[in-house]
Structure 1
Amino acid sequence: MQGSIQVRQDAQLQYLLRIADTALILAQRISEWSGHAPVLEEDIALSNMALDLVGQARAVYTHAGMVEGAGHDEDQLAFLREERDYRNVTLAELPRGDFAFTVLRNAMMATFFKLLWTKLAASTDGELSAIAGKALKEARYHQQHAADWIVRLAQGTSESRLRMERALADLWRFHVELFASDEVDTKAAAAGLGPQWGDLQEGWRAEMQQILDEAQLQAPADAPFLSTGKSGTHSEHMGLLLAEMQHLQRAYPGGVW
């Protein structure tokens, strides 16, 4: 059985891992819809979006491995760390939920990623800037796709609207973590690597409000709650998710994507 790797804790590397981990874990959750989506077109669409996110994660992991300089490749960084060393936001790791839950989470995350990739396109890190240029196009599509479904469900049957309202109640409080800036953000911004995530909050709220207004939905009031996945303290769901994700790499060392 393959053991775990250790990675440095410097700000530049941790900033990159936050991006890659969030994309990878979200991709894993979206991929759980493969073969289970409500219609065939959505089965294909969600699978393709998961693959987009995997591609983004791979690119950033590969770059992170070069930045670290310890010889860790994308597969090792993706699959051979302990739970506490993953830096994804908690919102990405929550269980799949129903279709309303999924499209709302996709809208929240795609809106965030669209804003983040836009800023990263101007990064002083040339490789990260190039990754952002491609990823931005994908994030725009993900956002539009999810937004269309939110409106469709909210203005559909009484049952579909109820489910959208329930998804809002369950998910909204987790968005706060996206914009909780800390020392990693501060150092990354000072170096020109990327923005403090907190600087994206105003734009994110405006775009999400536009989606909710079109759907005639009301966002819940902000709650005094802060999830902590970015710092490595995850929900109870993360361990089970990683056990499934890491099994092959740990059981058969050296496997590659």
Structure 2
Amino acid sequence: MTRDEAFTQFLLRMGDNTLILGHRVSEWCGHAPVLEEDIALANTALDLIGQTQMWLGLAAELQGEGKSADDLAFLRDAWDFRNVLLVEVPNHDFGRTLMRQFLFDAWHLIQLGRLVKSSDPRVAAIAEKASKEAAYHLERSADTVVSLGDGTEESHRRMQEALDYLWPYAGEMFQSDEVDAEMVKAGIAPDPAALREEYDALVSRVLDEATLTIPESRFAHKGGRTGAMHTEHLGHLLTQMQWLQRAYPGAKW
């Protein structure tokens, strides 16, 4: 694998994570439990989609095939996506949505903090902008997890169930492969495995405050970030997200 090929895969991973999670979060628009949450979740989704535009735009530029971020978002099939499985699982209830957001936000902010120092100035610039949004996302999702986890008996039960369900998906964010090795060698991005200790410390601190118990199992689902395997949910999500572009290919609005 050449450096450019690895670089493209890395950019797709970053962009696909924010794209798919952004779409998932946007599904709450008009359906959140209270108006304030409806607006907050919509803004979070917009932030993530904005970051997607930058990551996938750079990936398209690197590919040199005349494609745009829109092409990569709307004209690829499920097996071409490189997002972690965590972001494609359905929203379920509000508790699971916020737990998923917290588990992703904690990783995302740590990752972006490393990317700010990337040897590639374009990556560093994107990370600099995205990290400001990610810091707010983490503050908000962590506070909500604590409020619900240490809230009523019902909210605590739901948040613990959400954590039990989602925790096996978190480990994929720290799996390393040849793409990561190439990025480390080039000084573009960190080794995912090197982020785990800081992540565990951050997550444990918040979940302790939320009176929630982290599952002991270290089993981790995998396959999303390499494209080897996705859940059935991604295909259903893409049919909703991509149908207009595919029904009217090349349409200008």
Tell me the TM-score normalized by structure 2.
0.96
Query: Could you tell me how far 1:124 is from its partner in structure 2?
Result: 1.3
The one-letter code sitting in structure 2 at the alignment partner of 1:35 is: G
Aligned equivalent of 1:182 = 177
Determine the C-alpha separation between the residues in 1 that align with 2:132 and 2:251: 30
In 1, distance between residues paired with 2:138 and 2:197? 17
Question: Paired residues, what number?
Answer: 250
Residue segments in structure 2 that go unaligned for 5+ positions in a row:
none
In the alignment, the residues of structure 2 paired with residue 144 and residue 154 of structure 1 have an alpha-carbon distance, to the nearest angstrom, of 15
1:248 aligns with 2:244: yes
> CA offset at residue 71 of structure 1?
0.9
Task: Report how far residue 255 of structure 1 moved.
Answer: 4.3
* Paired residue secondary structure (1:181): coil
Where has structure 1 moved over 6 Å in runs of 4 or more? none
Give the counterpart of 2:79 among 71, 81, 84: 84
* RMSD between aligned residues: 1.5
Alpha-carbon distance, 1:48 to partner: 0.1
Q: 1:156 aligns with which of 148, 151, 169?
A: 151
Identify the residue that residue 5 of structure 1 maps to in structure 2: none
List runs of 5+ in structure 1 lacking aligned partners.
1-8
The structure-2 alpha-carbon separation of the partners of 1:256 and 1:211, relative to structure 1 and needing over 3 Å to count, comes to farther
Match of 2:186 among 184, 187, 191: 191
User: What is the deviation of 1:227?
Assistant: 2.2
Q: Is the 8 A contact 1:75 1:256 kept in 2?
A: no
Q: Percent identity?
A: 47
TM-fit CA distance, 1:221: 1.1
1:228 deviation in Å?
A: 1.2
- CA apart distance, 1:57: 0.5
CA distance in 2, matches of 1:47, 1:27: 9
> Counterparts of 1:118 and 1:214 in 2: how far apart (Å)?
24
Deviation at 1:79, TM superposition (A): 1.0
SS for the counterpart of 2:208 is helix
Output the CA distance in 1 between the equivalents of 2:128 and 2:251. 29
Query: How far off is 1:117 after superposition?
Result: 0.8
Within the alignment, does 1:96 sit opposite 2:81 as a pair?
no
- 1:4 maps to what in 2? none
Match of 1:73 in 2: 68
Give the equivalent residue in structure 2 for 1:171: 166
Name the CA distance, whole Å, in 1 between partners of 2:200 and 2:152: 27
Amino acid corresponding to residue 59 of structure 1 in structure 2? M
Q: Of 104, 108, 129, which aligns to 1:109?
A: 104
Q: Indicate yes or no: 2:216 matched with 1:234.
A: no
